[in-house]
Amino acid sequence: MPVLEIIGWVGTAVVVWSMMQQQILRLRLINLVGCLLQIVYNGVLGVWPVVALNAVLALIQVVNLYRLLRTRHSEEAYEVLRVDPAGEYLHHLLVRHREDIERFTPSFERPVPDGAAYLIVKGEETVGYVLLHDAGDGVAQVDLDHVVEKYRNFTPGEFVFTSSDILREDGYRKVVSAPGVREPYYARIGFTRVGDRFELELAAA
């Protein structure tokens, strides 16, 4: 099979594969690669309408990637809301995401009575949530820190732990992660590993 034809088939497969992705950053990156391969393939063949289509799609993905990466740490793009840990909406989220929760935080069973819950919201979309309880002496013990699959390439929990003052406002001076969390991101946002957990000293206001 000629190399050019291989490029064409690979480009088609990559575009199709990108449409199967649930994580938004991964989808856009893979789709961009597929569009670029299609531009090369159809450009060599002189199929200019298809070249133009993929050039436009590639440009759209570049713009969307720029916007995603530019706002991934933006306090203006995300908002942290206190919610009732026994409320119906949080219960709905916990049921809906049960399989993912068991996969990434196997130690979590249910919200701790008298605990606290925070939603991370982007526009009208809930992208994650953090459940914790007071472990005494100003320590916030995280019971669950969950991110919906679409935003799993990002670190929205940072808007609870480091970007906002919400935990300090609620009287905490230190955060300790849940034990045995799988694929943790805490080291990337300033936590220190201590045994099977991560800890963060909250900066003074």
Q: Per residue in 185-203, pLDDT tens?
A: 898 888 999 888 899 999 7
State how far the Cα of 114 lies from the Cα of 202, in Å rounded to an integer: 22
What pLDDT shows up at residue 205?
57
State how far the Cα of 134 lies from the Cα of 197, in Å rounded to an integer: 16
Closest CA to 98 of 151, 148, 25, 141: 148
Query: 68 or 117, which is more confident?
Result: 117
114 secondary structure, DSSP code: T
Q: Per residue in 27-64, pLDDT tens?
A: 999 999 999 999 999 999 999 999 999 999 999 999 99
Parallel, antiparallel or unpaired: strands 174-176 and 79-83: unpaired
Closest CA to 129 of 142, 140, 114, 144: 144
